[in-house]
Structures are given as structure tokens and as C-alpha cells.
A and B are shown apart, each in its own frame.
Chain A
Amino acid sequence: AQTVTQSQPEMSVQEAETVTLSCTYDTSENNYYLFWYKQPPSRQMILVIRQEAYKQQNATENRFSVNFQKAAKSFSLKISDSQLGDTAMYFCAFGADSNYQLIWGAGTKLIIKP
């Protein structure tokens, strides 16, 4: 069975700093997908970034980038030049089943301080 672990329950950084959220997973699948979702206080889940396991290149979306280490089963999210609006819960998720179910981490609460 697949598992997703986020070992940091809460983090806080100053505005404009860079922060890295960690995520590890366990699977025996070869083809899978990894996601980072953001849930701000409004509770709307927002897709931040997506990575296909078969791609060696790390995904990037503006200030958001991932460090995908397939052998180590690690998928960390780096937020550069953090902004107050980045304050949210961040969830790491794993998907591989044909019915597209996701396995979710417990989440990391990120607080950006002014």
C-alpha cells in the first residue's frame, strides 16, 4: 500500500524568504504522479504543482518548484520569495491507481510572517 508522509506539522518564515516543505512516500509502482495542493483559510484546495514520476526534470510553477528524488522517494516543495498569501495548509499527494484516487499526506501548516 502507498503511504505519504509529511513530517513537518507547522512551519513559519518571514516574508520574502525561501521555504522548503518535505514529503516522502512509499510505493512499489513505477508509473505514478505526485502533487502539492494548497488549502488557504478559505479551505479551497488549489493545485500548486504536479510531477510525473517518469520525468527526471523537476516541475516548476513560477515561485514554486519541487525537488523530486525518485530513488529516495522524496518530493519536497520549495517556495521562493514567499508572500503573505502563501499562508496555508500544504498537502502532498500521490496518485497511481487507474481510478485516479489520491493518497494524501497529513499536511504542513505554513505561516508567512510580515
Chain B
Amino acid sequence: GAVVSQHPSWVICKSGTSVKIECRSLDFQATTMFWYRQFPKQSLMLMATSNEGSKATYEQGVEKDKFLINHASLTLSTLTVTSAHPEDSSFYICSASPGGGGQLTDTQYFGPGTRLTVL
């Protein structure tokens, strides 16, 4: 149980284009989803936290107009990188928490990640 999928697994795009990454919780409802960015050989950097039906909360330094997050349902969150530039190239990972006050409310389950390369 607690499987999170992420699509696409890798994407190459031209500078100036937009890219959408989907994150789905397959066997549980995710009250909260998180988007991370990971640079090579580094830890995870939280970009934003999203709760279903409300606006995402962005971490300091993350441009909300550039990284659009939509958490439209309890099983789907999307991250859109708008007007992508080479410096946006990175590994993006989503995670989801069941919420609901159960024992594993606080546990984050991760998607497999998306490698974005902007040319």
C-alpha cells in the first residue's frame, strides 16, 4: 500500500516552454502533497506544500508564478514549470501524506521522481 506515481519520469524541453508533472496517490487519499527539488548528491529541498482544494504554500525563495501547483483532488497534484530555463533543470520529487489523523498521518510516501532537462 501507499503507492505514489509520478509522470513523466523524465522530460527534455526547450527553454521558454512549460512542463507539467503529475503526482498521483494510487491507493490512498492524500490530504497533503509536497513538491521537492533535489540537486545531485544533495538532500531534498522542499518547494511547496499543497492541500486539496486550497492554494499551495511555497517555501521562501520559490517563485509561485514560475512553479504552479494545483491539488485539485485527493489523489492528484500537478506541478507546472512555466517558461522553463536551463537553471530549472533538476530532479523533482513529489510526496503524499494520508492525513486524516490516522497512525500514518504524518508519513510521507514518495513518487519515483521526474528528471527535467531544459535545453
| Number of B interface residues in the complex (CB < 8 A) | 24
Closest A residue, CB atoms, query B99: A100
Closest B residue, CB atoms, query A35: B107
Q: Which of A42, A95, A107 contacts B43 (CB 8 A)?
A: A107
Contact of B46 with A by CB under 8 A: yes
Chain B interface secondary structure, helix, strand, loop or mixed?
A: strand
Residue contact B97 to A100, C-beta cutoff 8 Å:
yes
Residues of B within 8 A of A (CB): 32, 34, 38, 42-44, 46, 49, 51, 57, 91, 93, 95, 97, 99, 104-110, 112-113
Q: A35-B107, A44-B112, A47-B109 given. 8 additional CB < 8 A pairs?
A: A33-B106, A43-B38, A44-B113, A47-B108, A99-B51, A100-B49, A101-B34, A102-B108
Residues of A within 8 A of B (CB): 33, 35, 37, 42-47, 50, 91, 95, 99-102, 104-107
